[in-house]
Chains A and B, each alone.
Chain A
Amino acid sequence: MRVLGIETSCDETGVAVYDSDRGLLAHALYSQVATHAVFGGVVPELASRDHVRKLLPLIREVMTASGSAPGDIDGIACTEGPGLVGALLVGTAVARSLAMAWDVPALGVHHMEGHLLAPMLEHPAPEFPFVALLVSGGHTLLVDVQGVGRYRILGETLDDAAGEAFDKTAKLLGLPYPGGPELARLAESGQPDRFRFPRPMTDRPGLDFSFSGLKTAVLTRVRELPDDPQTRADIARAFEEAVVDTLVIKCRRALEAAAMAGDPPRLVVAGGVGANRRLRERMAEMAATLDAELWYPRPEFCTDNGAMIACAGSVRLTDADKSHAITARARWSLSELKPPALIRG
């Protein structure tokens, strides 16, 4: 089964062709980071404008690159939500009309399911069940993944997402948008032990997160200290350590709980923050002590992309019909999803 996947939920236009027998055949991405950088954050109207200009050229590109003729495509998968409504509407409008013209089903995909199943783009791919940590600019989730559509949210952030905390803290430190990777770079030259910030919500049971207090703690420090480059690097280092430590502690708990329940300890880390080097080092150490498997999608599939949508679409295509009724959904909980009809039986 060959699926064209379209992602337009935020500030990346992603398109891909995935074949359930042959794997990923082509993918293309247009990142709008530069467009939004001058505004210090994503401007929804500008995001939508870019999507509508870029989407069709990207579709042409992946059709050619994958050697697909229209008749080879069995369905079109498109991110239906959650995300920016105006941005989602561009993708769904194009996906539905193209599916109508090609007389194939159109299928709405949950953006976070795309992230959860992204490791299936790799060979070998992790087996189910696994625990997934999704850490991006918009989300921080720990999910028990028993199979496609069988998701239980173990924990989520009560306020800022981990990536958002990186970005906001970077801003406090005077770094350009998007600050996460910049902050990580600055942290490399920081001393590990000069400052210590709290590890929010690790002193009590449970798997939820909260990162907004950490940002405030940083702000207090920044205000009371002289503004020299080394101090900034030291603060960045302590901040990164606090976030990473918190994420590692919660993942360890989730893996221990999985093992108690009889599942093999297997962790998948996805989302933009998954690119963080320190996070990867610390996760590897933790996984080793638990004898756990640790998986990452390759970096370009950690952040938003069309490949993960095409891939998730391919396992759900049996659910789609030719009514082409995809709507844009700003909010949509992962826990509302069900397994595909075929698996559901």
Chain B
Amino acid sequence: MKLLGIETASDACSVALDTGTEVLERHHEQPRMHGRLLLDMAVELLAEAELSLAGLDALVVGRGPGSFTGVRIAVGAAQGLAFGANLPLVPVSSLAALAQGVVRRDGSAGVVTAVDARMDEVYWGVWQADAHGVVAEVVPERVCSPADIDLPAGHWRASGSGWQAYPEILEAAVRGQPGRVSEAPGQPQLARALDLLPMARQMLAGGGEFAPEQAVPVYLRDSVAWQKNG
């Protein structure tokens, strides 16, 4: 399957192209440049693979959670490409992509993601890989204070910026059983576009319409004290 994936929910601007025979990737860790870099990176990848947008089977987008603006840039760009090229658009959790990256690197089966959501909260998710190495949600992803997390029994690999930002998470997660959570070695801190693709392939195989306007951002944080302008 030929897929183009876009992930910009963090400081990384990441684009991946599955050409059907190999996966190519462009990945830049450069905050606040996503709007400018993203399309050029996609164009570069397509040119390298001598593919056109119209020759793809679907687009894939990291729909958050993460930086609000970053998520909207990814979703906006992906919607425009998908609508313009008349392709399905598959939304995938950016936290799931982070977990998928751990599975790809070290073959772990269980991954727990905590991404710094500022305001003393983390985006929290618990993921389990299936027999094909594709992660699925174990508990619903959510935004919460480090003290409020809960981790199912078992052994988990930890990934994401939240563990460093809030060291108290580890204690809350293991609840007195230190061995339960270990750091993923050389863990990817930021989600990569190529790690969106396994879930997207599975979702596409499961059938469905995937209209571009249905792929909308998932912020998780929906009720902060909104500040009006000025």
Q: Which residues of A contact B (CB under 8 A)?
A: 36, 39-46, 48-49, 52-53, 55-57, 59-60, 70, 84, 86, 89-102, 324-325, 327-328
Contacts and interface: CB of A to CB of B under 8 A. Distances in A.
A43 B76 CA distance: 20
Contacts, number: 105
Contact of A97 (B81, B217, B229): B81
Binding site of B, secondary structure by majority: helix, strand, loop or mixed? helix
B72 A101 contact: no
A89 B76 CA distance: 9
Contacts of B217: 49, 52
A100 B44 CA distance: 13
Contact of A102 (B79, B84, B212): B84
B80 A93 contact: yes
Contact of B85 (A49, A56, A101): A101
A282 B226 CA distance: 40
A101 B35 contact: no
User: Which of B75, B212, B228, B230 counts the most A-chain CB atoms under 10 A from its CB?
Assistant: B228
Contacts of A90: 72, 76
A49 B224 CA distance: 14
A96 B75 CA distance: 13
Binding site of A, secondary structure by majority: helix, strand, loop or mixed? helix
A45 B53 contact: no
Contacts of B228: 36, 39-43
Interface string B6-44: 000000000000000000000000000001101100110
B80 A43 contact: no
Given A93-B35, A93-B76, A97-B78, A45 B68 contact: yes
Contact of B72 (A84, A93, A98): A93
Contacts of B38: 93
A163 B19 CA distance: 53
Contacts of B68: 45, 48-49, 86
B4 to A, nearest CB: 11
Contacts of A57: 213
Contact of B79 (A40, A94, A99, A327): A94
B42 to A, nearest CB: 8
